[in-house]
């Protein structure tokens, strides 16, 4: 169900790029991990055990399918809902969950809100909550890779709302001009919090915008993980071959709220949600696997139970960790601590000691 | 537009001029009625002169440090065409009687009212407060000589007792009159360099008075010792009975000396006098108003105890104490600094054997009182221990012959050695 | 030793460091073949080619955003913002991204870069070619801010900045790009960041300034000396983290301080310096700390000499500060 935009790209609808069953299961597992984790974390959020959460629910296909096309050396510039890519690329669950708790198990020392993970070990950089800012950065990183002669490709995620930002234009333009090796992946989940995607653009699609910047844009069914993978793999391949950037619009749907702070029943029709639930990317892949001889309900159930156990174990372990030490508040600001930071650190520690 | 010339008023008895210490307004500034315009130091006191009119300052006449004569124009105001304060009579630009005796301390109050929100706090820079604190002084106890009554470093130095000379060792004495010239940085030379400290304010007044006295009145000084044993025991008995009556009051020697002086001066009235240089006349004064020289932070001040002859010992003691405090706090009123007929300088603990007091011009005599000490003396051919005191008296030789001065001194000593004789003088 | 002007010294530093460190890339508007509108990158394109001297599309947010990615990836980008007035499209990138990157990633990533930008008035540049926005970046934790006042410092500070691990805003006083001339050593040397320079010693009033206004402060100090007021003139050089020890040393020594800057007064760096001095030297103070600054208005075109805190206005401030009765 890939719709080609006005680019010269041929439709890749049937091109599954030769994914093996094992690879499909690997993606299926990655999608289940984030689905399970999201459900558990939303529950924890409602219990007051974590402060905030942004779920990927419904969009797992777009995230996992695209990230699956990368090599470990490739870089990801994520937006809010791409933590799952880190996990799939080998980042452990416990520090991931510790980030949500914001405790000392978090690599970023509890400094950012939940759902703002990053890990150098899997080449996933840090996201700031500021919509679109990661896009020109992704161009810069890809440009740098090109200047250094590396074959690294950069995958930059955004939502449909981000295409309205100045940084989107800037990034698309810089990317087109520099022919940097990167892939923009726009998760068009139809809602920027409460604003529907047709209020973000009058274009016939988001993908079509690429044309004006001089590189291909394709629209793909974001809930078809294989299709997403196919489109991403081709774009990544082209980028690696110095063919320049691509914009992929993965059309998907945000089944849940924007975040734990949001109530989507106030602005959207529940029937629309039900329609999209019927196109759930995980269920679609599950049906495909079950249709093969090598997957069955028992294995499916076992996998789900195993993942739930892993997630619960990770939550148990991460939740036990202590909050970040107070002095970490002042770390990592400068390479060498300047006098004002040293003074303020001492002031806080002395205050805590007295209190 | 109406211009109003505000002239330096006659702010005290005999004052003919004043030094402009500090302008509190400048040209172009709006002034309210009663807003302080300028601080002027006369040879009596420093006073803040408030504006009699509301208006805009067109011009201030004279720079800080200049001498302004009484009735000289100080400030030209644009008072507009009959503003609300036009009621203030132009025919009486000078301050009225009430203002004439405006306490020096009013400077601070006025400035604070002017400033609006000082909340009664002492004005001083942080460095000045630190200096006071380091010397164990309470800044509230120091009266400020700076703008708006600000306590300055110089004030603190004076309060510490180091006086103007010590101020000069400070790195910088910023002055609205003449900022010191400080050359290029050179730590070695600064510490050895000569300092030029201009005489200002009270110090300048003291200097001028001393010069005038010393160079117009040919002084001679007469020194004699006296036996104060009887005086001492009389005083002790009086203080004991005061204490027995529950009074915390203690009477010092000064009231006794004052009373003895009145008695002696009645015998030698030409010493209770002023000499009028202009007419070359000796004015023998009817009143007995004694100046009591007091060292203050800023220099020598001589408050005057009025009508000494009419005050009881206790009243005298109270009045001397009150004036001493007022002098230290710079709260003396102009009339408390004038009208003296004779001056006593009590030389204190470090009074030495003798001194050569300088007459408080235009008076003609001054008494220096030294410390009472037990000394071996010959009494009836026996060496006895007596409480002895030396007196140093200076006289204006133009009008007081040596013999008169000596006789006066012995008359005084007679009363002091035999205080019961004072009963004979009681009326 | 050759005599260079300030912009030549900047160019010299860039060339030296690009030869020494292949990670260094220059990017910005007109920095390539043209060599920059102020000629700061002249000749670099010819020597290092288009991959390292990059003419970018005209978007400051893109220049800094791309520089972030380059820095993350291991290059040493030196983005040029053609005029500091044009830095605001990149403000989000600088404040929310560059400044916080190391911190928000727990030290996993960092964005070392030197953002060069000509700043300040005095060239008849009106609102948008004259501003001094340094305080906005000092207010942002995670950035360092540097501004040279002379060719020697410009080269030494820029070389030192290019070797820092932190993002640096390098504000170049364009008014004296060519007017400030001086001997500049050939070859490599650094001027240590965080160290102010005492250009003139004095005991009465301490003047703290940076960039083009340092020269005005010095001229005013000369006049003040003729009046018997000895000024200590401090060129901060590194605006943040500033040389707190030197500032405090001089403030204690003189008991009287004035800060001179072109930027508007309110919430300018002068306000912070005044606060630091009163926090640390309160009991030494003999006078209110003076700010001699641009006015709280946009930078004007016709009245720029009235706007700038030039020597005569500084002299007036010195007098007022020196004569305050302590």
pLDDT-based confidence at residue B21 (cuts at 50, 70, 90): confident
Mean pLDDT of C267-293: 96
Q: For residues A32 and A307, is the Cβ–Cβ distance under 8 A? A: yes
Res B296 pLDDT > 80: no
Please report the pLDDT score of residue B109 as a whole number.
37
Residue B330 has pLDDT above 70, yes or no: yes
ipTM (interface predicted TM): 0.94
What residues 113-152 of chain A have any CB closer than 8 A to a CB of chain C? 116, 118-120, 125-126, 128, 130, 133, 135-145, 147-148, 152
Contacts of C97 in chain A (CB under 8 A): 128, 130, 133, 137
- Chain A and chain C share a number of CB contacts under 8 A equal to 155
Q: What is the mean pLDDT of residues B178-201?
A: 48
Q: Which of B60, B413, B68 is nearest to B257 (CA)?
A: B413
Q: Do chains B and A touch (3 or more CB pairs under 8 A)?
A: no
Q: Which of residues 251-310 of C touch A (CB under 8 A)?
A: none
Residues C240 and C168 sit within 8 Å (Cβ to Cβ): no
Q: Residue B195: which residues within 8 A CB-CB, separation 6 or more?
A: B168, B169
Catalytic (active-site) positions of B: 397
Q: Is B130 close to C283, i.e. CB distance below 8 A?
A: yes
B65 touches chain C (CB under 8 A): no
Residue contact C70–A143, C-beta within 8 A:
yes
Model-level pTM? 0.67
In percent, the amount of chain C with pLDDT more than 90 equals 99
Question: Does any CB of chain A come closer than 8 Å to the CB of residue C103?
Answer: yes
Question: Average pLDDT, stretch C187-213?
Answer: 97
Out of A125, A154, A170, whose CB is closest to C59? A170
Q: Name the residue among A120, A136, A144 with its Cβ closest to that of C62.
A: A136
pLDDT at A130 over 80: yes
Give the number of other Cβ atoms within 10 Å of residue B426's Cβ.
7
On whether any CB of chain B is under 8 Å from the CB of C223, the answer is: no
Stretch A164-185: mean pLDDT: 97
Cβ–Cβ contact A38 with C under 8 A: no
Mutate to test the interface with A, among C76, C89, C98, C105 (most CBs of A within 10 A): C105
Please tell me which residue of chain C has the smallest CA distance to A117: C105
Residue A254 known to be catalytic: yes
Contact C25 A135 (CB under 8 A): no
- Position C70 scores a pLDDT of 98
Give the torsion sign (CA, A223, A225, A227, A232): positive
CB C248 within 8 A of CB C234: no
- What pLDDT does residue B14 have? 62
What pLDDT band is residue B2 in, cutting at 50, 70 and 90? Answer: confident
What is the mean pLDDT of the segment spanning A267-284? 95
Cβ of C109 and A126 within 8 Å? yes
Phi-psi region of A51 (alpha: psi -120 to 50; beta: other; left: phi over 0): alpha
- Tell me what the pLDDT averaged over chain B comes to: 78
Residue A353 has pLDDT above 80, yes or no: yes
Percent of chain A with pLDDT over 90: 87
Res B117 pLDDT > 50: no
Are C284 and B130 within 8 A, CB to CB?
yes
Q: Is residue B34 very low, low, confident or very high in pLDDT (cuts 50, 70, 90)?
A: confident
Which member of B129, B171, B179 has the closest CB to residue C323? B179
Query: How high is the mean pLDDT of chain A?
Result: 93
Interface test with B, best of C204, C257, C325 (most B CBs within 10 A): C325
Q: C116 with C172: CB under 8 angstroms?
A: yes
Strands (E), B9-83: 17-23, 30-31, 36-41, 46-50, 55-60, 67-69, 73-78
At B73-97, the pLDDT tens digits run 888 888 875 444 433 333 333 333 3
HEC-encoded secondary structure of chain C = CCEEEHHHHHHHHHHHHHHHCCCEEEEECCCCCCCCCCCCCCCHHHHHCCCCEEECCCCHHHHHHHHHHHHHHCCEEEEECCCHHHHHHHHHHHHHHHCCHHHHCCCCCCCCCEEEEEECCCCCCCHHHCCCCHHHHHCCCCCEEECCCCHHHHHHHHHHHHCCCCCEEEEEEHHHCCCCEEECCCCCCCCCCCCCEEEECCCCEEEEECCCHHHHHHHHHHHHHHCCCCEEEEECCEEECCCHHHHHHHHHHHCCEEEEEEEECCCCHHHHHHHHHHHHHHHHCCCCCEEEEECCCCCCCCCHHHHCCCHHHHHHHHHHHHHCCC
Condensed to tens digits (0 to 9), the pLDDT of residues C101-110 reads 999 999 999 9
Q: What is the pLDDT of residue C1?
A: 86
Question: What local confidence, expressed as pLDDT, does residue B48 receive?
Answer: 76
Span C9-59, pLDDT tens digits: 999 999 999 999 999 999 999 999 999 999 999 999 999 999 999 999 999
Q: What pLDDT score was predicted for residue B422?
A: 85
The residue ranking higher by pLDDT, A293 or C261, is: C261
3-class DSSP state for residue B184? coil
The pLDDT tens digits for A74-87 are: 999 999 999 999 99
For residues B388-417, average pLDDT: 93
B97 close contact with C: CB closer than 8 A:
no
Q: Nearest chain C Cα to A331, which residue? A: C103
> Do C109 and A130 make contact, defined as CB atoms within 8 angstroms?
no
Percent share of chain B, pLDDT over 70: 80
Give the helix/strand (H/E) hosting B120: none
Min Cα–Cα distance to chain C from A342, Å: 12
Choose the closest CB to A139 out of C66, C89, C106.
Answer: C66
Nearest by CB: C325 against B129, B174, B182:
B174
């Amino acid at each position: 169900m890939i719709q080609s935009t006005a680019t010269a790209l041929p439709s890749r609808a049937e091109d599954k790029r030769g994914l093996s069953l094992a690879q499909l299961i690997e993606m299926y597992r990655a999608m289940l991990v984030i689905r399970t984790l999201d459900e558990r974390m939303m529950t924890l959020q409602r219990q007051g055990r974590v402060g905030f959460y942004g779920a990927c629910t419904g969009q797992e296909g777009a995230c996992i399918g695209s990230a699956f096309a990368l090599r470990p050396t490739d870089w990801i510039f994520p937006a809010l809902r791409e933590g799952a890519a880190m996990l799939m690329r080998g980042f452990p669950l416990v520090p991931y969950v510790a980030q949500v708790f914001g405790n000392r198990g978090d690599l970023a020392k509890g400094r950012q809100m939940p759902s703002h993970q990053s890990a150098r070990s899997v080449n996933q950089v840090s996201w700031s909550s500021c919509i679109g800012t990661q896009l020109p950065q992704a161009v810069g990183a890809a440009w740098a890779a090109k200047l250094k002669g590396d074959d690294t490709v950069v995958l930059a995620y955004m939502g449909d709302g981000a295409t309205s930002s100045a940084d989107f234009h800037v990034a698309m333009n810089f990317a087109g001009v520099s022919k940097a090796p990167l892939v923009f992946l726009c998760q068009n989940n139809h809602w920027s919090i409460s604003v529907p995607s047709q209020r973000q653009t009058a274009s016939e699609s988001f993908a079509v915008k690429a044309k004006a910047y001089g590189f291909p844009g394709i629209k793909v069914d974001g809930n078809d993980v294989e299709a997403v993978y196919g489109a991403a793999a081709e774009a990544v391949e082209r980028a690696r071959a110095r063919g320049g950037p691509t914009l992929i619009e993965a059309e998907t749907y945000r089944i849940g709220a924007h975040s734990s702070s949001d109530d989507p029943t106030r602005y959207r029709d529940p029937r629309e949600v039900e329609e999209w639930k019927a196109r759930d990317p995980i269920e679609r892949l599950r049906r495909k696997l079950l249709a093969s001889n090598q997957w069955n309900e028992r294995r499916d159930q076992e996998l789900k139970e195993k993942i739930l156990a892993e997630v619960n174990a990770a939550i148990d372990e991460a939740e036990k960790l202590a909050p970040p030490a107070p002095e970490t508040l002042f770390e990592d600001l400068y390479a060498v601590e300047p006098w004002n930071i040293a003074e303020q650190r001492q002031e806080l520690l002395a205050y805590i000691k007295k209190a | 537009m109406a211009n109003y010339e505000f002239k330096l008023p006659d702010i005290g008895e005999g004052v003919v001029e004043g030094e402009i210490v500090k302008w509190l307004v400048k040209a172009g500034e709006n002034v309210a009625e009663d807003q302080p315009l300028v601080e002027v130091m006369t040879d009596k006191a420093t006073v803040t002169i408030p504006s009699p009119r509301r208006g805009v300052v067109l011009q201030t006449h004279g720079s800080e440090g200049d001498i302004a004569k009484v009735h000289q124009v100080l400030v030209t105001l644009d008072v507009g065409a009959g503003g609300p304060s036009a009621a203030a009579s132009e025919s009486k630009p000078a301050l009225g009687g009430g203002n004439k005796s405006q306490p020096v301390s009013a400077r601070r109050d006025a400035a604070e009212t002017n400033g609006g929100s000082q909340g009664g706090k002492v004005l001083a820079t942080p460095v000045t407060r630190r200096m006071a604190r380091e010397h164990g002084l309470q800044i509230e106890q120091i009266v400020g000589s700076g703008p708006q009554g600000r306590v300055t470093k110089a004030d603190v130095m004076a309060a510490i007792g180091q006086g103007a000379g010590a101020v000069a060792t400070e790195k910088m004495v910023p002055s609205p009159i003449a900022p010191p010239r400080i050359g290029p940085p050179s730590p070695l030379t600064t510490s050895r360099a000569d300092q030029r400290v201009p005489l200002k304010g009270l110090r300048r007044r003291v200097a001028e008075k001393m010069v005038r006295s010393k160079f117009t009145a040919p002084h001679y000084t007469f020194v004699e010792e006296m036996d104060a044993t009887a005086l001492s025991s009389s005083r002790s008995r009086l203080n004991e009975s005061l204490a027995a009556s529950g009074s915390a009051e203690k009477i010092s020697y000064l009231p006794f000396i004052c009373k003895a002086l009145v008695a002696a001066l009645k015998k030698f009235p030409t010493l209770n006098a002023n000499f009028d240089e202009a007419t070359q006349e000796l004015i023998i004064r009817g009143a007995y108003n004694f100046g009591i020289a007091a060292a203050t932070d800023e220099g020598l001040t001589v408050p005057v105890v009025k009508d000494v002859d009419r005050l009881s010992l206790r009243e005298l003691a109270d009045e001397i104490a009150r004036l001493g405090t007022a002098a230290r706090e710079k709260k003396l009123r102009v009339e408390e600094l004038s009208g003296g007929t004779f001056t006593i300088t009590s030389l204190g603990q470090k009074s030495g054997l003798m001194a050569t007091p300088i007459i408080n011009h235009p008076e003609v005599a001054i008494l220096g009182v030294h410390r009472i000490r037990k000394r071996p003396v010959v009494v009836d051919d026996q060496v006895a221990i007596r409480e002895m005191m030396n007196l140093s008296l200076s006289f204006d030789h133009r009008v007081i012959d040596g013999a008169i001065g000596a006789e006066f001194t012995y008359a005084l000593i007679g009363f002091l050695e035999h205080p019961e004789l004072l009963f004979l003088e009681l009326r | 030793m050759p005599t260079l002007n300030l912009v030549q010294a900047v160019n010299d530093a860039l060339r030296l460091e690009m030869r020494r460190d292949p990670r260094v890339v220059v990017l910005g508007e007109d920095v390539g073949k043209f060599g920059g509108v102020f000629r700061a990158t002249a000749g670099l394109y010819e020597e290092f080619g288009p991959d390292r001297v990059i003419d970018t599309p005209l978007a400051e947010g893109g220049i800094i955003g791309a520089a972030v990615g380059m820095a993350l990836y291991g290059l040493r980008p030196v983005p040029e913002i053609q005029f500091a007035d044009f830095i605001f499209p990149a403000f989000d990138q600088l404040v929310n991204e560059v400044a916080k990157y190391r911190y928000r990633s727990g030290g996993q990533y960092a964005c070392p870069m030197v953002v060069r930008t000509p700043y300040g008035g005095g060239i008849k540049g009106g609102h948008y070619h004259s501003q001094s926005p340094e305080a906005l970046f000092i207010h942002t934790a995670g950035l360092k801010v540097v501004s040279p006042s002379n060719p020697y410092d410009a080269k030494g500070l820029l070389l030192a900045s290019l070797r820092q691990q932190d993002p640096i805003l390098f504000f170049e006083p364009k008014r004296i790009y060519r007017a400030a001339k001086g001997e500049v050593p050939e070859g490599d040397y650094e001027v240590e960041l965080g160290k102010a320079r005492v250009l003139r010693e004095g005991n009465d009033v301490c003047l703290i300034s940076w960039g083009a206004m340092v020269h005005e402060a010095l001229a005013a100090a000369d006049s003040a000396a003729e009046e018997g007021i000895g000024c200590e003139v401090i060129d901060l050089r590194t605006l943040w983290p500033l040389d707190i020890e030197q500032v405090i040393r001089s403030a204690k020594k003189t008991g009287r301080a004035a800060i001179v800057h072109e930027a508007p007064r309110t919430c300018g760096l002068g306000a912070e310096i005044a606060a630091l001095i009163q926090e640390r030297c309160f009991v030494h103070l003999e006078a209110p700390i003076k700010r001699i600054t641009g006015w709280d208005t946009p930078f004007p075109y016709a009245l720029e000499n009235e706007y700038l805190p030039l020597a005569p206005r500084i002299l007036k401030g010195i007098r007022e500060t020196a004569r305050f009765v302590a």
